[in-house]
Structure 1
Amino acid sequence: MKADRLITDCRLATMTEAAAAYGAIEDGAILIADGRIAWVGPRADLPAHEATQTDRLDGRWVTPGLIDCHTHLVFGGDRSGEFEQRLNGATYEEIARAGGGIVSSMTATRAAAEEDLYASAVARLEGLKATGVTTVEIKSGYGLDRDAELKMLRVARRIGREAGVRVRTSYLGLHAVPPEHRANRPAYVDLAIDDILPAAHVEGLVDAVDAYCEPIAFSDTEVSRLFEKAKMLGLPVKLHADQLSDGGGAALAARYKALSADHIEHANEAGIAAMGQAGVVAVLLPGAYLMLRETTPPPIQALRRHGVAMAVATDCNPGTSPVASMTAAMTLACVQFRLTPEEALAGATRHAARALGLSDEIGTLEVGKAADLAVWDVTRPAELCYWLGKPILDRRYVAGVRAYPGLAAFHAT
């Protein structure tokens, strides 16, 4: 077997659904050819091969590259002032109704040049890459007009071409009503659904369609119109659901067989059961839960009971989750929501891949999948959720290309 690279002298957390915890192989090896895993298994079973390059990892653990399946990475400005307001007692809803929140980020994003949006997003991305991320989802939703929404999505596509990660984009036009349409809300809904989404789709900028379904955002009826349009265009959907109240978002996501329903702190049992039947992934966002000082956690036991896959993501955004560390998100999921470390790692790999519709491509260490890997200086996989702030990533591989943490993070070696 010919290979571009042999990775050996390592322990593998394959994250396949195997009998062993973490799908672990204690003394493993991986052969990589043309950016994909050509063979993976116990080193004792390594087939005859010719590898151009050999990387010996001195017993380090290898996992699939981590996947941040819910971010708002591209935006202008920041909202540290609103952070102070919340600490002084203001609620998220009060800030939003006073013209802050998403609309504040909208103003800064509309004013920012594409180059500036790219530079600031890539700076935030360094924190994700330094914590093992090889794939990131990036939403629009801070433009809220045609030009700015397309600008955000173009920046996201550029990040995928140039910044050493895979990128999936989500169009989030139904995120908030911009000020110029407050007197005529239906006109904005029409614009978002019938003008901006088709324009973004024609340019090839959209991988999925998202919406924010809450009393302070958009209704079940409005979101359904958007999802019907997405279906016409052949695009999968996902939903910000039941974060602040039980608005039936989980059931709505299930009705449209969404890739995921995200947040879901207030989802009811019937909605969770519907998600399980429809195969909708629950994306848990502990960063927002922490920063908003919420007290109602997602219904983890109900999710387990109904067999709903649980992904974990940072929700990196300027207002409610300024989190740029995937391992921190995993730690918070364990501490706040009582996930096990194995559940959290599955949530950042196998289940996150499913939440992006990429299960056939990434998320586990299996033959034929992309050679996106993270290598860790740990003695057991649980340490990925144990340390908070300690640098534990040794290196990443994206399509078999080795990359290191830090600003000069991508090297074609």
Structure 2
Amino acid sequence: MDPRSARDVLRLVAESFSGFGEAGTGVSDPLGWPGYPEKQRELDMPESVLCGQGRVRGIDCALIAFDFRYFGGSLGSRTGDLLVRAFDEAVRRRLPVVSLVASGGSRMQEGMLALLQMQRIAGAAARLRAAELPHVTVLRDPVAGGAWASLASSADVVFAVPDATVCFAGARVRGGSDDTEAFTSNGKLALGQVHRLVELEEVGATLAALLPLLKPTSAEAPDVPDALGHADLPESGAEAVRRARAAERPRADAYLDDYFDNRLPLSSADPGMLCGFGSRHGNAIAYAAQAGTANSPAGFRAAARLVRLADRLRLPILTLVDTPGAAHDAQAERDGIGPAIAELFTAVADASVPITTLVIGEGGSGGALALTSHTRVWITPDAYFSVIAPESANAILKREPAELGATIDQLRLRPQDLLELGVVHGIAQRSGA
């Protein structure tokens, strides 16, 4: 198997494939480039992409596969024709798009006519989004230039093979760099620009796990997860805070594993923000869950992207709240923590699909509220929700440390207090309780 070959990769990923139509016979030479027509005739393929309808583990989809052997999988004017047609056929046939990309960028021999294909691809991808259909891309090796900055980066879910070159400017353009990791799929994963690393041999199975979770099966709000910790309510505010901060308290991973029959996590570049898609009783649900740490701007942006994608695909959303508050150090400020939180507030406010929220631990200030539903909020007996961390509230009020307990009680942050105040709509119970 040649990983550069479109046909070989399609055989590996899909059990069937039928093309939408080839690029036609003859050569394309809009600039009269010396030797370009002759080189095209030497290659035993019509263009740098194959596009058609295929089946991946029994799931129908529109498949786009780049062939790196044809001018480095570059984008030319005929490439653009084929890609636009593939997206439009996907809309007409109501199919998700899967693109298997290996490309060096725009084709030099076609100049600006090649570069303009980025606009055409963006337009075709926008029509797919408007039709509420998903685009999943798989970055092979390499992916650079126009293919990365238009087709691949605009996908809803981005997979990549490990250690692939993924960058906007190739080495010949950018020159040397000490930070080689930044130009790899592994580096892009750490930055949140890739959602998951997948070996090429595992792509078919991973797509088969993901694609059903991107198709809405119910318009109903997700049901409330069971509480996994204490069944009784805390007697004091201080006890509520102690429970929420206890190391042994069940965390987001435990709740997600208990709730979903199966799920596919996606990296968010913030280990404290867990994002992905799951299935519960046959219903596809998107989720964003805080894992008990102070979330970074990257984490809030990942959650906002997840909410917007779920809303566009008409998928209901489950959110789990558990954070002492947003990160507030100098790096968080430089990275735009305020705008990132605002982006998540806006995404939740704009969402027209139902969102169910369960507060499972610390509900610290705006960093917690940003992930919270406006209409369906529950809390476990092991959790609290507060305008700010109690210690910070005590400091703002210029009170002595000995007065912290009184401040906590005055904040009325216990689950039963929040229910009485109308902040939450119910207190989750343990299964069988």
Structure with more relative contact order (C-alpha pairs < 8 Å, separation 6 or more): 1
Structures share a fold, TM > 0.5? no
